[in-house]
A and B are shown apart, each in its own frame.
Chain A
Amino acid sequence: MTDEIAIEFVDVTKNYGAAVAVDSISLSIAKGEMVTFLGPSGCGKTTSLRLIAGLELPTSGIVRIAGRDVSQRAASERNVGMVFQSYALFPHMNVLENVAYGPMIRGEAKATARARATEILEQIGLKGLSERLPSELSGGQQQRVAVARAIVQQPDVLLFDEPLSNVDAKLRRKVRGEIRDLQKRFGLTAVYVTHDQEEALAVSDRIVVMQAGKIAQIGTPRDLYERPASPFVADFIGDANLISGQVSKGRFVSADLDLPLAGADGQAQISLRPERIGLTPGDAGPVGTVRSCTYLGSRWEFEIETGFAELLASRPMTEAPIAPGTRVSLNIPDTAPIRVA
């Protein structure tokens, strides 16, 4: 990773008629970085990606790729590769023709283009399939052809729009690992769109969390998980218990909950991760009643009624289950609460 900027948005807005899909976004992505756009449905992830690709032009603002202003430039005149959700392989061309299409369009001789395509196909593990039509490939193979096609011309940026939504759950983990490897191996700058937070955490250098057309927070996966800047982010990345209360003299108080917390006095909201809440049957400290106890294979998940909120807590499967109705005392480490508001 270098400090060179590959993609830059300056106050980019995209309207569809009266609807605002992307609302005055600014961000920059470094060369060689893999950044994920994450957010709920309709928050503007795909639109942001298409703005980079040039498949949409911004209503206002500037888009720069590799230092050049490309705001009004057509997709065909930017150097981007894109992997579509449906893969969008050309059904009337075989695998080799699909991959060689880009280099040929950009003016390379047919033989050179084919050689390049063959080389990429080999590197990506599709040797021997080049004569097949897309309809004669499995879903995972099609996906790899789509990736090969996108990287064959060494794009300034590689874009993925939910590339795994057509891959079955089991394969997903493997393929996302492959994508990440490939991105590192070729030193590509990549932007990845997903609404699956686990996927985002797994593949990204940085994550851009979006909410209603705006950026809610940008940060590394750890930043976002451990230091969410808003209740929305805390809730969206992983599970979170959001608790409202008062801060005074460095302590956060809500009903019988009393924790150390830095920051200004007054109204506050904290986020507590379920796995940071220890449970012991008893009556000491903040207490609650177990409402349900669910077995999830690797862990137990509890719903707990307390004086300040309905809490979600999870304990490793190695601990003993606790029967619903049991009164428990909550052990919350001082480092667990994160102030989000």
Chain B
Amino acid sequence: MTPDEIRASRAAREKLAWLVLLALAVLVLPWHQSLPTGSTPLFPSALGLAAEGRGWLWPVVLALPLLVWAGFRDASSRLFLNIVLAGFAILVLQGFAVGLRGPAFDVLATVFPAAAQGQTGFGWGGFVAGLAFLGLIAHSLALRGFCRGDRFSATAVVFIVALLGLFVFFPILKLSMAAFVGPDGELAFGPFIGRVLAPEIWRLDCLTGGRRCGVVINSLMLGILAATISTALGLALALIVARTSFRFKQTLRALSILPIITPPFVVGVAIIVLFGRTGLLTQFGADVFDVRPTRWVYGLTGILMAQVLAFTPITFLVLLGTVEAINPTLEEASQTLGAGPVKTFFKITWPLLRPGIAAAFLLAFIESLADFGNPIVLGGGYEVLSTRIFFAVAGARYDLGHAATLAMLLLSLTLIAFWLQSRWLGRKSYVTVTGKSDAGLASTLPFGLKGVAWAVVIPFVIFTLGVYAVVLVGGFVHDIGRWDLTPTIAHLRTAFAFEVGTAGFEFYGSAWNSMKTTLLVSAIAAPLTTAVGIMTAWLVARQDFAGKNAFEFGTMLSFAIPGTVVGVSYVAAFNVPPVDITGTAAILVICFVFRNMPVGMRAGLAAFAQIDRSMEEASQTMGAGGGVTLRRIVLPLVKPAVFTALVYSFVTAMTAVSAVIFLVSARHNMATAYIMGRVEAGEYALAITYSTVLMIVMIVCIVLIQLLVGARKLGRRREFQGQITPAE
């Protein structure tokens, strides 16, 4: 076959595959998850339903023969594209136009009486039809020159845009609409204004020594305090590591990943164990100094302690990068010009540090706003936006409108912080962890400052050690809360008991269920997240298509949305047809994929920036389409980025709580949700045990992933690592 025939037959095969998929979707597969009430078609596909009187499905069904006809004439024609676009549009519109309880517009009921019975969410048929339409849109666009005619890239762009639309923008849209809904489900501004201006949100009483403050004020106060303290600590640590003869630099760097793999709640629990009313140190204080035990740790103080512990490593890494990037020759120059060390520090070093400090501060601030685990364990009566949102939909009085309003407030605050960050610091600010100069000897800290730094750091280190000691020991002793340190595996047994019986393994422990779900969901989500993230990065870095800037902005935006907001938005969007997927394991996976995808994307973008794109172009001129080029040329060269993305998405999926807490169900419970239940029930030891097990599992998995992804790095090609530009 000539290359020309190969090309023609490949294109024809792909077109045929999409058309067959569409045929399958509208003719064979069940259109809905479950049949709408009162519907008894001969067969449950779109065709069957349409024939039964659900006439609004006819356009979707009839698109098939039209497309077959137009497609075999010329799939690159405007006509073909228009038919697919129309078919897809009708598919989406009918889903919204006829809801569970009947049509959205009365006209529909007159034209199609059956519409009054309403319809349920999409099933396999509906989803596969959407998929096939999108595939045909991409196919046609590519033939018309979209993405430089590369069908793989065009398909990837179309699918990713559709997925982002469905799983990022649509939920947020639904959520903001929910904020404008009155008590009877009608669209109204009044309730929204009322909710936004409510005193329970903006009250400042606590400042004047009265009752509590509003939630927004609480959140802001917590955010600012947590960000300030962890930035100060991070700076002190960074200065000590980079500017003194501190020897455990690598250890500290390695330890700074601890908070990332620490499951939520466990730090909170450890703090309670130490400082709660019956806590170890509280009792010690009572016994020795006769301090009356109180619940002082619950509230702002406790949350602050936990958050500072969690965020300091982040600020430390950012600031270490900044400190190391400061060229010591500048400081040396200043000193040779006669400025003393103190003056040099404040005149030279400090101004250079400022951007890093701003970045670290905003990062910690955003994290604090989004944090859910610590406030819920340690909050007591101190309510912040994220916990309030949770209770508005999870509590006894389900009030989506209220939750949505608060979520919009939280989202706005976060977006403002992000906006400030990008305005002050430009795009690069997110990745400041690398880059340093080894030239010269870094000047040392002025003596006074060194003292201050140590004075700040030492208590922090002791506190951290204490907390992690509790975590390490707590799960395997009788009752750490009462200082009963008899070793035991009773807690482990409660959670993870199993027996090897005649029927193989039998799992009795109460935690097995959630553990299995967590592992399964994370194991599915991690590669998907990585794939979507790296693929998106590749499209942004290498492809050229209309609307690319909006595309890039959209992907980054999905990162800015706090988990709690994502959680409620999914509740608002996916509880009702046409996409009714709450309570499934799929929604958990989807939630992780689109929340964590930007991390894979950033890792990918950084990697692609270092690879000469002409290698990919060479591959293309040699006959490889986008997909083959990606698999055979690009991926082998960006392995480290793939590893980073895999590990990150796996670990985040294992430890995530803020979004999934809204999405778990009795059937699909996640480890973090289970732990939260144990904490609420006061079973601290069990919570700690489970957390420890989770951490161990994560470490084992990280090592496994490394072996899996990194295996080919060994052997003959070792010396070639790192050189990813073409040899010249």
Partners in one complex: yes
Interface positions, chain B 712-728, Cβ under 8 Å from A, are: 717, 720, 723-728
Other-chain residue from A75, A81, A87, A150 in contact with B726 (beta carbon distance below 8 A):
A87
Tell me if B's interface is mostly helix, strand, loop or mixed. Answer: helix
A137 beta carbon closer than 8 Å to chain B: yes
A134 to B717, CA, bound (A): 12
A334 beta carbon closer than 8 Å to chain B: no
> Contacts A72-B76, A106-B6 known; A88 to B614 CB distance under 8 Å?
yes
CB closest chain-A residue, reference B147:
A74
Interface positions, chain A 258-272, Cβ under 8 Å from B, are: none
Interface size on A, residues (CB 8 A): 43
Other-chain residue from A57, A71, A87, A107 in contact with B728 (beta carbon distance below 8 A):
A87
B628 beta carbon closer than 8 Å to chain A: yes
Are the CB atoms of B150 and A74 closer together than 8 Å? Answer: yes
A73 to B144, CA, bound (A): 8
A303 beta carbon closer than 8 Å to chain B: no
Report A-chain residues with C-beta under 8 Å of the C-beta of B566: none
A57 to B143, CA, bound (A): 12
Shortest CB distance B550–A (Å): 15
Report A-chain residues with C-beta under 8 Å of the C-beta of B325: none
Are the CB atoms of A76 and B624 closer together than 8 Å? Answer: yes
Are the CB atoms of B7 and A80 closer together than 8 Å? Answer: no
Report B-chain residues with C-beta under 8 Å of the C-beta of A78: 621
> Contacts A68-B4, A107-B6 known; A54 to B148 CB distance under 8 Å?
yes
A75 to B637, CA, bound (A): 22
What 5 pairs between A and B have smallest CB-CB spacing? Answer: A74-B149, A102-B622, A88-B614, A72-B145, A75-B620
Contact with A along B603-646 (1 / 0, CB 8 A): 00000000010110111111111101100110011000000000
Report A-chain residues with C-beta under 8 Å of the C-beta of B6: 106-107
Are the CB atoms of A84 and B4 closer together than 8 Å? Answer: no
CB closest chain-A residue, reference B633:
A90
Are the CB atoms of B617 and A88 closer together than 8 Å? Answer: yes
Interface set of A (CB-CB < 8 Å, partner B): 53-57, 68, 71-82, 84-92, 101-102, 105-107, 133-135, 137, 139, 142, 149-150, 153, 159, 166
In the complex, 22 of the A-B residue pairs with CB atoms within 8 angstroms, ordered by the A residue number, are A54-B621, A55-B148, A57-B145, A73-B149, A74-B625, A76-B621, A77-B3, A81-B621, A86-B612, A88-B614, A88-B618, A89-B618, A91-B720, A91-B723, A91-B725, A91-B727, A101-B624, A102-B623, A106-B3, A106-B6, A134-B726, A142-B728
A228 to B633, CA, bound (A): 45
Interface size on B, residues (CB 8 A): 40
B151 beta carbon closer than 8 Å to chain A: yes
Report B-chain residues with C-beta under 8 Å of the C-beta of A72: 76, 143-145, 149
A107 to B9, CA, bound (A): 13
Report A-chain residues with C-beta under 8 Å of the C-beta of B151: 74
Are the CB atoms of B717 and A90 closer together than 8 Å? Answer: no
Shortest CB distance B227–A (Å): 40
Report A-chain residues with C-beta under 8 Å of the C-beta of B614: 84-86, 88
Other-chain residue from A74, A87, A91 in contact with B148 (beta carbon distance below 8 A):
A74
Are the CB atoms of A84 and B617 closer together than 8 Å? Answer: yes
CB closest chain-A residue, reference B636:
A92
Are the CB atoms of A75 and B617 closer together than 8 Å? Answer: yes
Are the CB atoms of A134 and B727 closer together than 8 Å? Answer: yes
> Contacts A76-B623, A86-B612, A87-B728 known; A55 to B617 CB distance under 8 Å?
yes
Q: A84-B618, A86-B612 are in contact. List 10 more A-B contacts (CB 8 A).
A: A68-B4, A74-B142, A82-B618, A82-B621, A85-B614, A86-B728, A87-B727, A91-B720, A139-B728, A149-B618
> Contacts A76-B624, A106-B623 known; A135 to B142 CB distance under 8 Å?
no
Instruction: Indicate the member of A57, A77, A134, A137 with the most B CB atoms within 10 Å.
Output: A77
Report B-chain residues with C-beta under 8 Å of the C-beta of A88: 612, 614-615, 617-618, 726
CB closest chain-A residue, reference B4:
A68
A150 to B724, CA, bound (A): 21
Shortest CB distance A242–B (Å): 38
CB closest chain-A residue, reference B150:
A74
Are the CB atoms of A77 and B727 closer together than 8 Å? Answer: no
Report A-chain residues with C-beta under 8 Å of the C-beta of B617: 53, 55, 75, 82, 84, 88
Are the CB atoms of A105 and B148 closer together than 8 Å? Answer: no
Report B-chain residues with C-beta under 8 Å of the C-beta of A149: 618, 622
